Amino acid sequence: EPEVTQTPSHQVTQMGQEVILRCVPISNHLYFYWYRQILGQKVEFLVSFYNNEISEKSEIFDDQFSVERPDGSNFTLKIRSTKLEDSAMYFCASSASGELGNQPQHFGDGTRLSIL
């Protein structure tokens, strides 16, 4: 069964540094998402992306965050200047359609981001 692949599985970064989290969505999917889960808290929506532009973003997704689909297979999340509170598990997801009922979101195994 096709999978969403995320790399790296664990990223350790100094506060203030830039970090890029990478995702390879399922190949025929058109909608892409990032979520995060701070330790002990809920999974939170960050951003959705379709047709090379952001379709929705949460209040968490401020100017420090950006997303990109640099080629036909990768989908990246960049945090420009990391803060301690960015430490979390970041999940990438993809779906074949924006209509949730027909095509649910499939999630990767996540990248654990630790900011020192």
Partner 1 sequence: AQSVTQPDIHITVSEGASLELRCNYSYGATPYLFWYVQSPGQGLQLLLKYFSGDTLVQGIKGFEAEFKRSQSSFNLRKPSVHWSDAAEYFCAVGRAAGNKLTFGGGTRVLVKP
Task: Give contact residues for partner 1 (rule: CB under 8 A).
Answer: 4, 6, 31, 33, 35, 41-45, 48, 55-56, 58, 91, 93, 95, 98-101, 104-110
Least distance to partner 1 from the beta carbon of 101, Å?
3
Query: Contact, 103 vs 95, CB < 8 A?
Result: yes
Q: C-beta of 13: minimal distance to partner 1 in Å?
A: 21
Query: Please, which residue, 16 or 104, has the CB nearer to partner 1?
Result: 104
Tell me if 15 sits within 8 A of 80, measured CB to CB: no
Per the CB < 8 A criterion, the answer to whether 9 and 22 are in contact is no
By beta-carbon proximity to partner 1, the closer residue of 82 and 106 is 106
Residue written as token pair 């096709």: 2
- Distance between CA atoms of residues 5 and 8, nearest Å: 9
| Beta carbon of residue 6, minimum distance to partner 1 (angstroms, whole number) | 8
